[in-house]
């Protein structure tokens, strides 16, 4: 953020006429260099399309706008982290193992999505070791990530925080847009695909 604070003002409009003429010349040169360096057609990836469009609309002005958007995003993230610090870390008691909870939460969601069932948590009464597929898998992941926390408490927390949406089968992008379900093109008709009024196959 400190770097952007210094960089962005260098390219903004000047009140001083001589400085503005210098900036205008710099902009012309900068835009020409970006045009020369823009990806050539055919363009295969989205980021190259973005770079090409930025060069076409005026590389310097577009870049400064992007820098301003980046500064805003960084500022919002800084505010979020400050709120997290106050909410999660400045506590009168020992903070939970947030990293372990985050990993357990992701695994629980993956398990629910793939199986359509809630994972279960359990430990052997004799050894205390994990006794369910979910907690056994979580223990292995914790070992790989060098997480020292036991798996049982994060597993219980993750299972408790699953929602009905986590258990529901995932729809395709077309279905989310109200355009599906659409079968594959390979040897199948597209007649079952629900398209918006006026759209063509």
Residue-wise pLDDT tens digits, 65-79 = 999 999 999 999 998
- Ranking 1-15, 141-155, 156-170 by mean pLDDT, the lowest is 156-170
> Cis link prior to 179 (omega < 30° from 0)?
no
CB of 196 within 8 A of CB of 179? yes
Q: Quickly tell me which residue has 């823009």 as its tokens.
A: 38
Q: How far apart are CA 168 and CA 115, in angstroms?
A: 10
Distance CA 149, CA 154 (A): 8
**0.75 surpassed by pTM:** no
Find the helix packing angle between 152-160 and 133-144, rounded to 10°: 120
Q: Categorize the per-residue pLDDT at 82 as very low, low, confident or very high, splitting at 50, 70 and 90.
A: confident
The confidence band for 179, taking pLDDT boundaries of 50, 70 and 90, is very low
Q: Indicate the pLDDT class of residue 93, thresholds 50, 70 and 90.
A: low
C-alpha distance from residue 49 to each of 45, 63, 69 (Å): 7, 15, 19
Contacts of 117 (CB under 8 A, 6+ apart): 111, 167
The answer on pLDDT for 30 being more than 60 is yes
- List 130's β-bridge partners, or say none: 123
CA distance 108 to 165: 13
Query: Would you say residue 32 has pLDDT above 70?
Result: yes
| Of 186 and 6, more confident | 6
């Amino acid at each position: 953020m400190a770097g952007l604070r210094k960089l962005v003002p260098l390219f903004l409009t000047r009140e001083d006429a001589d400085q503005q003429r210098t900036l205008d010349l710099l902009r012309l040169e900068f835009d020409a260099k970006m045009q020369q360096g823009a990806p050539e057609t055919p363009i295969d990836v989205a980021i190259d399309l973005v770079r090409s469009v930025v060069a076409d609309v005026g590389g310097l002005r577009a870049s400064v706008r992007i820098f301003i958007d980046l500064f805003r995003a960084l500022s919002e993230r800084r505010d979020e982290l400050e709120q997290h610090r106050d909410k999660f870390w400045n506590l009168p008691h020992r903070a939970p193992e947030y990293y372990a909870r985050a990993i357990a939460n992701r695994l629980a969601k993956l398990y629910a999505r793939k199986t359509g069932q809630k994972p279960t948590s359990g430990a052997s009464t004799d050894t205390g070791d994990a006794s369910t597929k979910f907690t056994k898998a979580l223990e292995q992941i914790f070992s790989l990530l060098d997480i020292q926390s036991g798996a049982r408490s994060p597993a219980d927390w993750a299972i408790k925080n699953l929602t009905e949406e986590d258990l529901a089968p995932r729809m395709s992008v077309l279905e989310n847009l109200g355009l599906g379900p659409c079968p594959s093109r390979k040897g199948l008709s597209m007649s079952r695909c629900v398209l918006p009024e006026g759209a063509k196959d």
